[in-house]
A = this chain, B = another copy of it.
Amino acid sequence: MRPLILITNDDGVAAKGLATLEAVACEFGDVVVMAPGTNASGKGMSLTTERPLRAKEVRQGEGISVYACDGTPVDCVKLAVEHFCPRKPDLVLSGINHGSNSSINVLYSGTMGAVIEASVMGFSAIGFSLLNHNPEADFSACVPYVRHIVGRVLEHGLPADVSLNVNIPRMAEGEIKGLRVCQEAKALWTDSFEKRIDPIGRPYYWLTGKFVCNDPPAQSDETALKEGYVSVVPIHADYTHYGAIEQVNNILQ
C-alpha cells in the first residue's frame, strides 16, 4: 500500500504553497488534504472550542482527497485523522507557508501549530515555509528540497517525538547552497500595535510589528537562511527548559 500523507496549512485551501506541497506529496503516496477554508495565519496551536466545526469536500482525484474546514490548522489535523483519513497517516506535512516560520515565528504559526499537533499525536511531521509572503510567490525553488526531505523522512523516519521546521530562503534554485540542520534563533517582534482613531473618536489597534533578531548564533536558523541555506530545525512539543530546573528550585525553595 502506498504511504498516506496528510497535508494542511494556515494560508487556506486555495493557497499556491499548498498546491505545490500537494504535487510533491502525490509523487510519494496517497494524499488527504484538510486545510482551513480561509486564512488562519497566526493561529499557533489554537483550538476551536466555542462552536462546532464543518468540513466540506473540495475535490477528489486519483489518490487525492481535498477538504476545507472552518477551524484552525490544529483542528484540521485532529479532525482529518479521526474522521476523514482512510487509515493512519504515515506522514503529516504542513505548508508550504507563504512567509517565514523561522526563529520565534514558529510559536505563532498555524502552519507549525499543525506540525506540533501531529507530533503530539505520534506522527512524523514536517512544516515547510518560503521566505516570501506574496500570495503569488514562486515556489519552484522549494520543490527539490521538499522532495528530498519528504523522501528521506519516509525512508528513514524521524527520531521519536521529533518533527521538522523547514524554512527556504527567497532565492533562485541555483543560488540556494544546500540545507543546514540548526536551532531556533532568539528574536522578538517590536512595535506590535498601531493605534488609530475611528470616525467617532474611539481608539483601535492594528497588529503590525518589526522582527528583531540581533546577532543570531552561527548554528541558528536565521544565520542559515541569511547565508543562503534551507534551515531545518528539529522540534518537539516540549517547552521545558531542562537546564533551569535546578536553578529555579534554588530560587523557590
Contacts and interface: CB of A to CB of B under 8 A. Distances in A.
A245 B108 contact: no
Contacts of A137: none
Interface string A141-170: 000000011001100111101101100000
Given A106-B239, A234-B245, A236-B241, A251 B192 contact: no
A53 interface: yes
How big is chain A's contact interface, by range? 35 or more
A87 interface: no
A218 interface: no
Interface string A20-42: 00000000000000000001011
A204 B45 contact: no
Given A47-B42, A192-B78, A193-B83, A156 B241 contact: no
Given A107-B45, A182-B245, A52 B122 contact: no
B248 A47 contact: no
A109 to B, nearest CB: 9
B48 A45 contact: no
A72 B44 CA distance: 11
A184 B152 CA distance: 30
Interface stretch (A1-9, A58-66, A90-98, A113-121): A113-121
A41 B188 CA distance: 24
A195 to B, nearest CB: 6
Contacts of A182: 245
24 contacts: A44-B44, A44-B45, A44-B47, A44-B113, A45-B107, A49-B207, A53-B207, A54-B204, A78-B193, A83-B193, A116-B239, A120-B188, A121-B188, A122-B188, A152-B251, A159-B241, A159-B248, A161-B241, A162-B244, A182-B245, A183-B238, A234-B241, A234-B248, A238-B239
In the A-B complex, the 6 residue pairs with the closest CB atoms = A44-B45, A235-B239, A46-B46, A234-B244, A42-B47, A78-B192
